[in-house]
Amino acid sequence: MPSCPALLIAAPASGQGKTTVTAALARLHRNQGRRVRVFKCGPDFLDPQIHAMASGQRCENIDFRMCGEADGRWRLARASAESDLILIEGVMGLNDGEPSAAELARRLGVPILLVLDASAMAGSFGAVAWGLKNYRDGAPISAVLANRVGSEYHAQLCRDTLPDDITWQGALPRDVDAALPERHLGLLPAAEIADLDARIERMANALSTTAAAALPPAVNFDNSAVSPAPTFERLLAGKTIAVARDAAFCFLYPANLECLTALGANTVFFSPLADTALPDCDAVWLPGGYPELHGPQFAANTAMASALHAHVAAGKPLLAECGGMMACFESLYTVDGEHHAGFGLLPGSTHMQKKLAGLGMIAVDLPEGRLQGHTFHYSRSETPLSPLLHATKPDGRQSEAVYRQGRLTASYMHYYFPSNPEVAARLLLP
């Protein structure tokens, strides 16, 4: 049976430092010669980029609602057979989401390291830890790490409040030089943080002197009772999928790319910002990202716009999701009202705003079949096009519109291809 030391890193809320701690732990054990695999709870694109750099291995997502429990379990089982340590970063707060990080830890049998921002507390430190461990059905919190303490005395005050069944793993000082920078969708992409490697090393060194540096207990990730690794019909055998990947299009699930390869596709990457022509391909995929930050480059790259127009005019598939769809409209407006030309593949415009416009798990029943995914964006789109259909939220309420013009399919929805590989193949099949 596949077993491997494993730990789930969680916190009472976002912003407590769990991403930094997870990345630092991954780097610490990697520096000691261990093979470390990191997983991220929830449909996150940004934290996994940080963890991939820290561990030197791809970081996959676990979300029993979007991805399915069988998907998560077989990926963990595979990783446990290949690794010396598995780290799982929770999503938001310990009891947020459905299922929450606490529920995932219970179902997977993984102990929890609780990261607590102690900067504004001392005597309440143990009360928060005890409450999270014993709330509702309880959570397998085995240890706690105090983050952002002001002094050794402050750390000791926090430590003295802990109950006997929660182990003290040490404390990290306030360190602005190690903090990870953010923008409206979360942390900056890894490629945009010039000194990211140095920040991770700095925190790894800080953790090396704490009890958190020890290997956690082994966890059995036997998946035979749930589902074996899936098999794929090679529906895309011999086909080449051109995948946009640059500073504007950086929201790519490793599982989606792996799924396309398993379906038989050859994936090639290109940059809509820098390239003037498409690779030789049968289909194009424009994933999400930050097109709103690169408007002048899009407007100046008329050759890429022409190449995409020719691709669509030839009747070839183009899948555009979230940022990919935003770039397909005629115009893109920044939050300050600055206007830039888009690719012009779809009539209409996209307008950035400070208010969140979409968030949460959704599913869509396309003509090709059903796909799971999620939405998270700060823009609204205006178009005379009538939607082909709408995605729905878990409670059945209407969510994001899906537009289709010829073989171009566009939506704010981020798709998780392994939720239905056949549907993903048909969206991209010439």
**Catalytic residues, which ones?**
322
Q: CA-CA distances (angstroms) from residue 77 to 60, 223, 256, 273, 367?
A: 13, 6, 19, 38, 34
- Cα dihedral sign for 64, 68, 69, 72? negative
Give the β-pairing of 182-183 and 186-187.
Answer: antiparallel
Cα dihedral 274, 277, 281, 283 in deg (nearest 10): 70
Place of tokens 């102990």: 111
Pick the closest to residue 171 from 121, 206, 129 (CA basis): 206
What distance in Å separates the CA atoms of residue 126 and residue 144, rounded to the nearest whole number? 9
Q: CA-CA distances (angstroms) from residue 282 to 124, 266, 407, 411?
A: 59, 10, 12, 21
What distance in Å separates the CA atoms of residue 291 and residue 113, rounded to the nearest whole number? 37
Pick the closest to residue 109 from 189, 234, 225, 7 (CA basis): 7
In DSSP notation, 194-208 reads TTHHHHHHHHHHHHT
